[in-house]
């Protein structure tokens, strides 16, 4: 399956401002790209690429005053299969976890593990460790939190979501991540593309959030908002929570003017090479 990915994001910039963007496909999916994955800027501005401490690709630049446009269109090959599921995946004791995943057991900006540990124990202490426990957490969050774009708040934490019982995509994931960490399951926040392939049409596209749980020696995809395996999920960035994977960060004023995201399945490309036409894989 081929998926067209892209975005068009525009800002009003009152004065030159340093910015960092996380808009590239994650390095783990680089081999699947069938076209260049390049951030375009209008007006043209020098860009420095670097990898952050979580391995995400970041673009660093100084936005000039005036109208700023960030855009891209690329093509990626996907298996066309839903997120892998392994109901038998086991939860490792903390002492047996790799050192590099211990970070994802700790409290972070939006995930107050210390403040929800008793709540998590009450809700999920009787569940079987491993996959069943993570799925029980997703089921609870999905059933008890009401989704609505009007509930969005940049300061809302997992504790706030639990108290308010309302939120947007990232809030569902923050609460589920926090409950997993409370139950000694490493959990990390993920952001990327998720279209409506294989599901009813959704409102205008946006970037999406989900989370990974570390079970049976690897990261598995879970999604407390949609709570079902999906097709065509494309990772852009992962970290402790949304604070680590902001799509754009400005170190000064930058007013968002418009925002468009594209993630659509496309037919196999036909490449005209003269006397015959080949279809790309």
Does residue 29 form part of some domain?
yes
pLDDT at 271 over 50: no
Q: Is the pTM of this model over 0.95?
A: no
- Tens digits of per-residue pLDDT, 121-166? 999 999 999 999 999 999 999 999 999 999 999 999 999 999 999 9
Q: CATH number, domain at 31?
A: 2.60.40.2250
- Sort strands 166-167 and 146-147 into parallel, antiparallel or unpaired: parallel
97 C-beta neighbours (distance < 10 Å), count = 18
CA–CA dist 172, 51 (Å, integer): 27
Q: CATH number, domain at 147?
A: 3.10.620.30
Look at residue 86 in the predicted model and tell me its pLDDT: 97
Same domain, 191 and 232: yes
- Tens digits of per-residue pLDDT, 194-242? 998 888 877 677 899 999 999 999 999 999 999 999 999 999 999 999 9
Does residue 144 form part of some domain?
yes
Same domain, 119 and 210: yes
């Amino acid at each position: 399956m081929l998926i067209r990915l892209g975005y068009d994001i525009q800002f009003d910039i009152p004065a030159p401002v340093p910015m960092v963007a996380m808009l590239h496909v994650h390095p783990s999916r680089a081999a699947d790209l069938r076209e260049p994955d390049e951030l375009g800027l209008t007006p043209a501005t020098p860009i420095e690429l670097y990898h952050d401490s979580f391995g995400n690709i970041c673009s660093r630049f100084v936005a000039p005053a005036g109208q700023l446009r960030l855009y891209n269109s690329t093509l990626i090959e996907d298996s066309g299969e839903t997120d892998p599921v392994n109901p038998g995946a086991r939860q490792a004791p903390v002492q047996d976890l790799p050192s590099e995943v211990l970070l994802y057991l700790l409290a972070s900006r939006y995930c107050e593990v210390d403040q929800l540990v008793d709540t998590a124990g009450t809700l999920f202490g009787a569940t079987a460790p491993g996959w069943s426990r993570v799925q029980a957490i997703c089921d609870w969050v999905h059933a008890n939190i009401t989704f609505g774009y009007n509930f969005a708040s940049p300061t809302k934490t997992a504790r706030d979501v639990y108290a308010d019982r309302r939120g947007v995509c990232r809030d569902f994931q923050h609460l589920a991540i926090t409950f997993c960490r409370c139950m000694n399951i490493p959990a990390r926040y993920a952001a990327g593309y998720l279209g409506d392939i294989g599901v009813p049409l959704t409102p205008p596209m946006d970037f999406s959030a989900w989370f990974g749980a570390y079970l049976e020696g690897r990261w598995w995809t879970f999604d407390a908002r949609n709570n079902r395996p999906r097709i065509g999920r494309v990772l852009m960035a992962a970290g402790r929570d949304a604070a680590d994977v902001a799509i754009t960060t400005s170190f000064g004023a930058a007013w968002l003017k418009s925002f468009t995201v594209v993630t659509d399945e496309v037919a196999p490309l036909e490449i005209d090479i003269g006397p015959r036409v080949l279809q790309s894989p």
